[in-house]
Amino acid sequence: MSQMSPMSPMRHKRHAMPVTQGEHVIVVGAGVSGLTTAVALSLAGCRVTIHAAEGPSQTTSALAAAIWHPFYQAPDFVYLARARQTYATMCRLSTDATSGVLMRSLTEYFRRDAGAPWWAECASRLKRLPETEVPARFACAYRMDVPVADTGAYLRYLMNMFLELGGQYVQRRVDSMTSLLDKADIVVNCCGYGSRQFGDDHLSLSRAIVLRAARDDAVRGCFIDDSDPHAPTYIVERDDDIVLGGTADPALTSTVIGAHQIDDIVRRCARLCEGVAALRVIDARVGFRPMRRAPRVARDSEHPRLFHNYGHGGGGFTLSWGCANDIVRLAGLTSAGAPRRSIDSDAAQP
């Protein structure tokens, strides 16, 4: 099923009745998309319950490098709008020390000089590096500030924000989305690859191998070269560690990590930043990105009170707030936006 654009009055006339503030919403899934959607709906005045088989720390989101960046994304206005909203919101959250979000300097290298990245308007302090600072194998490089989330801290922050707003969390496996419609006014499916069991055969998996290294002054900032679709190379400095990546292995489901794969990631990263060679690798992890031709952020075509928000591939964090706000609008609600202050202050007022 392909992605649907925001509702057209003609096509969706029979679904025009909006959800009213105060009605009950069930969000299925507790990854970054599920938590962000639940927070956005709570801020819009809904009573929200999350149903999830696994807690946030067990989701694919917990393994992500969680850097704001449109990996392998062709120019797209819908993607740009969602990414822009997420960038702005995460910038605000970075001012709260408890959020787990920090602004980091990102240097991205390009094999072909096509000018500034098509999404550059979202990023702050963008500048092109002089040729003397760009390795010969690259045509150009740009540096900018982007949000980076420590996944554990950020997912806990979102969950705490959700609970402070009056949300409820139920740990349970959902076998049928439509059965939940008897228990809530609307249901939002944010369960990623799990949506395949509900009939979306457009979903596939892409295996990602990432390494965590101990922090070291030899590496400052973040670095990316995503010119190889099967071997994205990235270095992400976080508060407590440094993430090195990675791979994008279509349809592979093995969780075995070979020494040669670890060595290859370290070698590629060291070519982007020499300081990587001095890092001590703590562990290697495997995650599985839910891939789709385009994210499904839409009202269900058969059940007007069922909505979907999944299939973001490697863009879950990059698109999270934009997609959550789209769900709020599709449901006919007014988004209150993300809190500008700590959730400990004034019950997360926007």
- How far are the Cα atoms of 7, 184, 270, 313 from residue 18, in angstroms, in the given order? 12, 14, 53, 30
Here the tokens at position 84 are 């822009």
Report how far residue 199's alpha carbon sits from residue 314's, in angstroms, rounded to the nearest whole number: 22
Report how far residue 48's alpha carbon sits from residue 21's, in angstroms, rounded to the nearest whole number: 11
Q: Which residues, in sequence order, are CB contacts of 61 under 8 Å at separation 6+?
A: 31, 32, 33, 151, 155, 316, 317
Instruction: Judge contact between 325 and 33, C-beta under 8 A.
Output: no
Q: How many CA atoms lie within 13 A of 185 on its CB side?
A: 15
Angle at 230 between CA 81 and CA 122, to 5 degrees: 20
E runs forming strands in the chain: 24-28, 47-52, 101-110, 124-128, 140-149, 168-171, 186-189, 204-214, 222-225, 233-237, 241-245, 249-250, 281-291, 296-299, 306-310
In the annotated binding site for D-dopa, the residues are 234, 289, 314
Q: Which residues, in sequence order, are CB contacts of 245 under 8 Å at separation 6+?
A: 65, 208, 209, 210, 211, 232, 233, 234, 236, 265, 269
Report how far residue 155's alpha carbon sits from residue 57's, in angstroms, rounded to the nearest whole number: 8
In the annotated binding site for FAD, the residues are 60-61, 174, 313-318
In the annotated binding site, the residues are 60-61, 174, 234, 289, 313-318
Here the tokens at position 293 are 């031709």
